[in-house]
Structure 1
Amino acid sequence: MRRNTIAILILIILLLTGCSRVTHNTDLENSIQSIVKDKNKVQIKIDSLANFEWDKGFLFTPYTTEESMEKQMGVNFKDRSKIYSRDDIYLLVFLHNEKVVQYVEINRNQSDFSICSKEYISPLKALITINRH
């Protein structure tokens, strides 16, 4: 009986931590990098690349602090990329139902990125502009 209780508790803990994990989406990262490398491309259409559910995407510039990201997104976020001390990447963070679900590090590769004057992108308006140096 005691073993069953322990096994059930372990299973519950694994399920709960598995459901709240934020994924570093390297497949999407690689797709974005392929587009950036093509000098003829000036936009990234995220809606055609993202194969997961999301409703908001926030693009953060180098040196953005966790506090600033949390304030803009309205949710807690543990920045594993350490963008607050880096100038070589942009960070694209995806939310679904007001929870962070995935993030992507976009290498600058002599480029800057923008979502125009919008606060965030959505699946219906999911364009990121590439500004090459």
Structure 2
Amino acid sequence: MKLSFLNMTQATLLNETWSVGGTEQSLQYLTQLISSFPSCCLLDAGGSPISWVLLDQFGCLTHAYTMPAHRGKGYIHLVIAALAQKLEKMDYLVYGDVLENNTSMKRAMKCLGANFTSCFLSYDLHTPLAQK
């Protein structure tokens, strides 16, 4: 296994595994994140990502995921810690978001020393219509 970064060819996998993904719009969004912001992933022997995390447009750790066959092995800790370390070296404040009902990710983040707040943030992103 090897630590690496995500590339745009892997956006389809992220889109297929993302709980709110699966659309052309979400694929474009993930492709933009991958091409524009830091990420970290763990690749298997064949070069396929098995665990990953990336930043969104707000500098927030997000879209962290481990393929089901590889869960429970600490891989998510590894990729989050690697990306957080890279960001800290660049003097970035490291923070992330976790869905309220994602208890396994909350547990993983607590193991990494994360502090949680009780706030709820919601935002909608809209793409302007093309001019005719």
Relative contact order, CA 8 A, sep 6+: which one is greater? 1
Q: Which structure has the highest strand share of the two?
A: 1
TM-score (norm 1): 0.27
Q: Which structure has the highest helix share of the two?
A: 2
